[in-house]
Structure 1
Amino acid sequence: MEMSYGPTIEGLMNHRSIRKFTDQLVTEEHRSAILAAGQQASSSSNMQAFSVIRITDRQLREELMAITGNQSYVLESPEFWVWCADLYRYTMAAGQGSGSERLEEANAEWYTIGAVDTALAAQNAAAAAESLGLGIVYIGGIRNDIRRVGELLKLPQLVAPLFGMCIGYPDQDPVVRPRLSPEAVMHENEYSSSAYASLIAEYDDRHRSYMRERSGGKLETSWSEQMAAKHSQSGRQIGGYLKQQGFRLDD
């Protein structure tokens, strides 16, 4: 008999990235609830080291879409939010800087706090949106030209854009993408890679089946093949920008 764990877990297990949305707008009530849920996420020492920028200007959306590699849903989704690691507000609260002063530089730990706080808040917001019948997709492509995004959004020192999020009512019903088996990600007492070869092979088979179903038989790419293709690409260069923004990543 299939186990039921309640609506929260069932909702999380049914997450799909949505890339096609209806024209129905997201109400202010729902926007507020989604943001409030994000704000209730765990935060390191209650620093709440993140900010969200809601993009409503069409020209700005078009520029951001171009930066992401012309992902059309950045322009077409009812809502597009940019999630930023934000230590600027913290320095002001701590009396270490203000808008007219040079802010104290932050080390890699500060950046890590901001990145983790931002991701936790965004995932809370994503789960909240899905519970309301909405769909989301994360947009890491804003880091394709992170400096330009920072300029467009007028980000001060110690604030860095990490990813975007499209939000809206789904106009598609994609199948759920399978994940690695729990045995591949859960370790006990110490890290062990001894079973990785067989676990990856098993996942490759499931991933091929998923790709066949998703593409209507046109593709059957394995996870390993996708990762090899990604590895062959040059990674986004963001270290220089983060240093420009005041994060000392070598400490």
Structure 2
Amino acid sequence: MNETIKTLLNHRSIRSFKDKALKREEIDIILGAASLASTSSYLMAYSIIGVTDNDKKAKLASISNQPYIEKNGHFLIFCADFHRHIRQSSNEQYQDMRVNLENTEHFLVATIDATLAAQNAAIAAESMGLGICYIGSIRNDIDKVDTLFNLPEHVVPLFGMAIGYPDAETDQKPRLPKAAYYFENQYISIEDEELHLQKFDEKIADYYQNRTTNQRNERWTDQMKHTLSTPKRARMSSYVREKGFNKH
């Protein structure tokens, strides 16, 4: 097994970091890896904001209710971004482009581009002995984040990433078995799906009861029912449309 595979198979979210900033060379390597991720039609429709200002980090931590946004080696925000693509356009050219930019396809393209770049960054960081944690909760108050970083039209903050030197060992949370997410030639049958999920429920219940911290009695399917039944970030749809995305 090569070192790349070992890095991938060892992934876990790190939420406790040493009080040690990343070196500029480390940040540049991580960003360089991000920039070489695959991109749709060479659009590179994303931007990355490094947050070093302590006041802004504190405000992000308050929005996200995640203290490790303040306490890490470096914090990044990944944005869907088509703003740079229109900067050199005349008003007439922009109006022609706008119809396309406002559709769902281009929002998906920008979101996927940003996510691919982020995963490259995550793997690069982990390969260097660093830990990472994705932070989707910056979207808890998307308008505050928008204002905090003065984001123009066609730029949407998608998620953050805390990076740093791990300060504690973390259990690796189990994932669905291959048979539950990989199918060949057609979608899995309902009966097979139920069987695989039942087995995974037993595994995750055992994990929650025996992990080193925050033990609880919960199955994965029950957790998902609760999560998907709870209204969350209802402002996102209107915000994304206001930023010039996903209108049709």
TM-score (norm 2): 0.92
Q: Which runs of 5 or more residues in structure 1 are unaligned? A: none
User: Residue 117 of structure 1 aligns to a residue in which SS?
Assistant: helix
Conserved? CA contact 1:97–1:104, under 8 Å: no
Q: 1:211 aligns with which of 208, 220, 225?
A: 208
Describe the superposition over 1:89-125 as per-residue Cα deviations: whole angstroms up to 9, x where unpaired: 12236x3669xx8883521111001000000000010
SS at match of 1:246: coil
Alignment of 1:219-238 (within 5 A): 219-237=216-234, 238=236
- What is the percentage of aligned positions where both structures have the same residue? 39
In structure 2, runs of 5+ residues without a counterpart are: none
| 1:76 partner amino acid | K
Q: Give the structure 2 partner of residue 202 of structure 1.
A: 199
Secondary structure of 1:104 counterpart: helix
The answer on 1:171 being equivalent to 2:167 is: yes
3-state secondary structure, aligned to 2:107: helix
TM-score of the pair, normalised by structure 1: 0.91
Match of residue 49 from structure 2? 53
What do you get for the CA RMSD once the two structures are aligned?
1.9
1:34 shift after superposition: 0.3
- Where does residue 144 of structure 2 map in the other structure? 148
Which 10-residue stretch deviates more, 212-221 or 78-87? 212-221
Change (3 A) 1:97 1:39: farther
Q: Does the 8 A contact of 1:96 with 1:104 survive in 2? A: no
Q: Return the structure number with greater helix share.
A: 2
Match of residue 119, structure 1, among 115, 118, 123:
115
Q: Any runs of at least 4 consecutive aligned residues in structure 1 with deviations exceeding 6 A, and if so which?
A: none
Count of aligned pairs = 242
Q: Is the 8 A contact 2:241 2:247 kept in 1?
A: no
In structure 2, what is the equivalent of residue 88 of structure 1? 83
CA contact (8 A) 1:91 1:97 kept: no
Give the whole-Å Cα distance in 2 for the aligned partners of 1:45 and 1:217: 44
Residues 43 and 53 of structure 1: CA distance in aligned 2, closer, same or farther (over 3 Å) = same
